[in-house]
Amino acid sequence: MSSDSTILTRPLSQFFYYSVLCTIPFYYWRQVTPFLPVDWYITAILGLIVIIYMVNQKDMPALFSNNLNKWFLFFFFVNIVSTIFSPYQSEAVSGLVILVQVYIFIFINLTFLTEKGLVNILPYVLAASVGFNSIIASLDYFFGVELFYVSESARSYGVTTGANNLSLMSVFVIPLLFNKLLTAKSPLGFFGSLFLILINIAGLISSESRGGFLIFFVMAIMVLYINRTRFQPRFFGLAISIIGLCMLLVATAIPDAYFKRQQSLLSEEQDTSIQRRTAYIKVGIQSFFDHPLLGTGTFTFPQVWLDSRETLFFKMAERGAHNTYLDTLVGMGIIGLMIFLGLLSRIFRDFITAIQNFDLVNDLDMKDMASAYLVSFLTVLAYCLLKTLIDHKFFILSISISQVLYFISKNKKDRLYGPV
């Protein structure tokens, strides 16, 4: 995160940065430019801006030094060693390249994110871009209007990579929007946030994601808990009326197929999707026993799956683990998984420390905003049980946000109480 007086915070630099974030949900549209996706070209411009900054300032951006660097280095070192001994050399090397891209995006975020951006810009940029996909998906799911794409199944997902991906992104933005709803200072801010919440919930429904259905309700409970002090008794009647209206809309608008899919979670008979995920776990555990310490190489689960007996029972070839923790265990062994869990623990602690620091300096608005970002991060960790997310930009963005919030909160605390 940069100071307010550098090239990094100029309107044009910020425009390029948020342009990259806008492209995240639009996977298929990002591929329209020749040679490389459009976001890569914008990222190259951001890299040039960073170089100009370092030449002018004769220094690195402040957050290039952060609490996670040692974890990044440990994790990357284990990935290199695992790749050297991998039975799938070419795939493991490709995985290392992806990991380098992850680190680049993390440091781009750390360079261009500001306090103003975290509070006033980022929630709306993410919610609007995901919401546009939710509208596309909802038009297909509720009305049969296939706009910009043709759905391959009853589940809809806009121009993202799939239904579970749309589900993840829709749930991610809701805690941020709910915070903006409660802190709105104008009717436009209130109803704009409410509209974005509703269309992203519609996107979640359109995806028919069973995991997303469960995570959404857990997320809703967490959001209500962290905002409990903002609710006043005179708002209870209004809240009950809104909830009742929403329940009526749900009962009349959502197709029966949605409820049948959610009910399948309690069915004794497993469908193909659940059977396949069970097979992933079986293959992953066997691979771990074969390569317990360093695994088979970065992002090599698809090759492990392809070589397994279980792949013969399903009509598909290479498949990811659909579980970030399992994918890490298979690819980097127990050493890599322990480092990955250590990284997640450090991120969580930095979120908590930031919240405590904001509380200490009596910045309650930033405290609540940081709490909302923490809930979004926790939803990503829950989705890690359903998808391989190490290279997912919302996961990468959450990592970056933890450090920016920690940095801002520490500076505020140090200014008030002096450095510790």
pLDDT (tens place) for every residue of the chain, 420 residues total = 544 568 999 999 999 999 999 999 988 888 888 888 999 999 999 999 999 999 999 889 989 999 999 999 999 999 999 999 999 999 999 999 999 999 999 999 999 999 999 999 999 999 999 999 999 988 888 887 877 665 555 677 878 888 889 999 999 999 999 999 989 989 899 889 989 998 999 899 888 888 888 899 899 899 988 888 777 665 556 556 665 666 566 556 666 666 666 665 555 555 677 788 889 999 999 999 999 999 999 999 999 998 888 887 776 667 788 999 999 999 999 999 999 999 999 999 999 999 999 999 999 999 999 999 999 999 999 999 999 999 999 999 999 999 999 999 999 999 988 776
pLDDT the model gives residue 154: 62
Task: Write phi, then psi, for 291 (nearest 5 degrees).
Answer: -135, 70
Between the two ends of the chain, the Cα-to-Cα distance in Å is 21
Amino acid (one-letter) located at 39? D
Amino acid (one-letter) located at 199? I
Assign residue 68 a region: left if phi > 0, alpha if psi is -120 to 50, beta otherwise? alpha
pLDDT the model gives residue 266: 56
Q: Are 219 and 174 in contact (CB under 8 A)?
A: yes
Report how far apart, in Å, the C-alpha atoms of 121 and of each of 15, 339, 409 are.
11, 33, 19
Apex 390 CA angle, 386 and 395, nearest 5:
85
Which residue carries 């996977």 as its tokens?
27
User: What's the full length of the chain, in residues?
Assistant: 420
To the nearest 10 degrees (0 to 180), the angle between helices 89-112 and 38-57 is 60
Angstrom distance (rounded) from CA 183 to CA 28? 35
Q: Are 24 and 394 in contact (CB under 8 A)?
A: yes
Q: Are 330 and 287 in contact (CB under 8 A)?
A: yes
What DSSP state is assigned to residue 158?
Answer: T
406 CB-near residues (< 8 Å, 6+ apart):
66, 67, 350, 351, 353, 354, 357
What DSSP state is assigned to residue 119?
Answer: I
C-alpha torsion sign, points 203, 206, 212, 215: positive
Distance of CA 41 to the CA centre of its chain: 22
Reduce the DSSP state of residue 142 to 3 states and report it: helix
Q: Are 193 and 177 in contact (CB under 8 A)?
A: yes
pTM: 0.92
What DSSP state is assigned to residue 322?
Answer: S
The token duo for 366 is 């930033």
Assign residue 323 a region: left if phi > 0, alpha if psi is -120 to 50, beta otherwise? beta
Produce one character per residue of 282-312: b if its CB has 16 or more CB atoms within 10 Å, e if not: ebbeebbeebeebbbbbbbbbbbbeebebbe
Q: Are 142 and 253 in contact (CB under 8 A)?
A: yes
Angstrom distance (rounded) from CA 224 to CA 181? 13
Q: How many CB atoms lie within 10 A of CB 363?
A: 18
Closest CA to 4 of 14, 15, 16, 18: 14
Angstrom distance (rounded) from CA 393 to CA 229? 32
Produce one character per residue of 49-70: b if its CB has 16 or more CB atoms within 10 Å, e if not: bbeebeeeeeeebebeebbbee
Angstrom distance (rounded) from CA 351 to CA 344? 11
Angstrom distance (rounded) from CA 8 to CA 53? 7
Which residue carries 């940095």 as its tokens?
407
